[in-house]
Structure 1
Amino acid sequence: MKETPLPFWGETTATLDWCEENYIVHKYVAEFINTTTNLIFITLAIFGIYSTLKCGLPIRHAFGYAAIALIGMGSWCFHMTLLYEFQLLDELPMIYAACVLTHDIFETGEKRKFGLFLPLALFIYATSVTVAYLYINDPVFHQISYALLVMVLNFRSIYLLTQVPKGQTRILMKKLLFTSWTTFGLGFFLWNVDNIACHQLIAARRRMGMPLSHLLELHGWWHIGTAFGTYYWIVFSNYIRIILLHKENEYNIKWELGFVPYVAKINTTSKKEINNSKVE
């Protein structure tokens, strides 16, 4: 019998192999759509870092964007190769990025409120999850560890939202937080459908043929949903710190292309223009 040639990256060693059929689009990319949709993470991160530095915000505001860029690059490598070492490069940065965001949403003042306790606690958590995951080797453990941090982030966000005075600014912040939840939640829903109905989705994609079949690569939509959901939340986190520092008359939220928000420095003292920009 003729031996089947190995794929470009060799045998799959990852503990997860998603619903997208492997190496059907390109011989160098195991899961083409699941790989290329990570460009959303990287593009939003670059734009976030650029807009942060452009308007002169502290460098700490750029760390969250850099963290999601790391997730995008790790996920790209994982889905391109389906190798275990790159699976770790995809999953563990999710924990590290969530730790960075947790630090930012708790330290909202000019001076550190929690001193070294918070970064030390987050470092211990990230290290413990990393070591335990290497031994347990169960993706469910990683998912629970990540979900715990996401819950902390969201409860803290709700609390900080109550500290914003009622008015147009609070409406804007509610809009950002709700959009983050909705986008992330939709991505999570599609991720579950992709897992549960994989056989049906593969059959439907084969009937449709490429390129329309790519629309049913739901794990790719999960990447898009989580990238935008996380990006919206980082903008929320950065701007709510500005509000709590009583600097909202210096910065406002603008929207690129109508759906990509960013923090911008106000170049006019016109109160009317400031208010209009907040409710765009």
Structure 2
Amino acid sequence: MSETKETKEHFWGDPTATLDWCEENYIVHKYIAEFINTTTNLIFISLAIFGIHSTLKYGLSFRNVLGYAGIALVGIGSWCFHMTLLYEFQLLDELPMIYTTCILTHNIFETGEKRRFGLYLPLALFTYASGVTAAYLYINDPVFHQVSYALLVSIINFRSYYLLTQIHKASIKIRMKRLLFTAWTMFGLGFLFWNIDNIACHQLRQSRYKIGMPLSHLLELHGWWHIGTAFGTYYWIVFSSYIRVILLRKENEYKIKWGLGFVPYVVKVSKNSRKEMKLGSKVE
């Protein structure tokens, strides 16, 4: 197939964002600057909608709705950013990443019936988010945003692993460890693809020219970053939701099911199923 080239006309005007990723602009659709980087955000939005639906359907804590809504906002912001490459939409992509991760940080630290940290934790997170926002608008350096985000993610992961040590039933602990490690793996793979896309952009573009569309889209690695982080974050919210159930000693009232074999969600156990679970435990 002949070599693809960027079109000269930019529907949204010349890019004003401080970042322009490896995917070439306006080669698939005249209204979308980065087609794959844009459309892969549907994964964020779809998983968020499903997460909100399952949370409300099975009567889980409303805090999970806020987490999923944050994921949806990140997906929408990222869609607008990659579609237009405009600075204002870059902020709509990047800053909600900080805000959503602050919500998730709150949720993984407040796991009891009553608040352990009172207003101190939400106040600290609000101050952090506000400080990062103000500093980022002034510094205007994407690396600052990336470090600020990575710090929150690291805190969440250390806390998550610590909570695993608080689970005493071996069978449940193994399942939860697998779910957490799956979340880490998906996120880690996405981060790996993100770095390769940045470091080896020239080589990736040359390979895409040789392969030709549509198979060349498989080498749009920033899109794989979206997919990996969407699933990784979704898995982690399910982990966070269910580990709170365990710590509240309500694991007989809820269980994790897997839709399509790869989409976990927490469901409320019916009374009949609960009786069967108790009988099963007596037999053991």
Given the two structures, how large is their TM-score scaled by the length of structure 2? 0.94
1:252 paired residue among 245, 252, 255: 255
From 197, 213, 219, the counterpart of 2:222: 219
Deviation digits for residues 244-275 of structure 1, max 9, x if unmatched? 00000000000001110000010122444997
Query: What does 1:180-219 align with in structure 2 at a 5 Å threshold?
Result: 180-219=183-222
Instruction: Give the share of equivalent positions with the same residue, in percent.
Output: 75
Distance 1:215 1:177 in 2: 27
Q: Structure 1 residue 20 and structure 2 residue 23: aligned? A: yes
Pairing 1:132–2:135 present = yes
Residues 137-170 of structure 1 show CA distances to partners (whole Å, capped at 9, x for unaligned) of 0000000000000010001001111001132111
Q: Which of 78, 83, 86 does residue 83 from structure 1 map onto? A: 86
Write the letter of the residue equivalent to 1:163.
Answer: Q
- Residue of 106, 112, 115 corresponding to 1:112: 115
For 1:269, the aligned partner's letter is: R
Instruction: Name the counterpart of 1:144.
Output: 147
Deviation sequence 1:221-266 (CA, Å, 0-9, x none): 0000000000000000000000000000000000001110000010
Cα RMSD of the aligned pairs, angstroms, is: 1.5
Which runs of no fewer than 5 residues in structure 1 stay unpaired?
none
Q: Does 1:51 align with 2:50?
A: no
SS at match of 1:175: helix
Alpha-carbon separation, structure 2, partners of 1:204 and 1:179: 30
Query: How far apart are residue 61 of structure 1 and its match?
Result: 2.0
**Which one-letter code corresponds to 1:14 in the other structure?**
A
SS in 1 for 2:18: coil
- Looking at structure 1, the residues matched to 279 and 43 of structure 2 have their Cα atoms a distance apart, in angstroms, of 30
Q: Which amino acid aligns with 1:122?
A: L
Q: What residue is the counterpart of 1:269 in the other structure? A: 274
| Residue of structure 1 equivalent to 2:3 | none
Superposition deviation, residue 10 in structure 1: 0.3
Cα distance in 1, alignment partners of residues 275 and 256 from structure 2:
15
- Which letter maps to 1:18? W
Aligned partners of 1:35 and 1:77 also within 8 Å: yes
Task: State the partner residue of 2:4.
Answer: none
Note if 1:36 corresponds to 2:39: yes
1:171 alignment partner in structure 2:
174
Q: Which residue of the partner structure matches residue 235 of structure 1?
A: 238
> Of residues 151, 158, 161 in structure 2, which corresponds to 1:155?
158
Shift of 1:23: 0.1
Deviations 1:80-108 (A, max 9, x none): 00000000000000000100000000010
TM-score if structure 1 supplies the norm length? 0.95
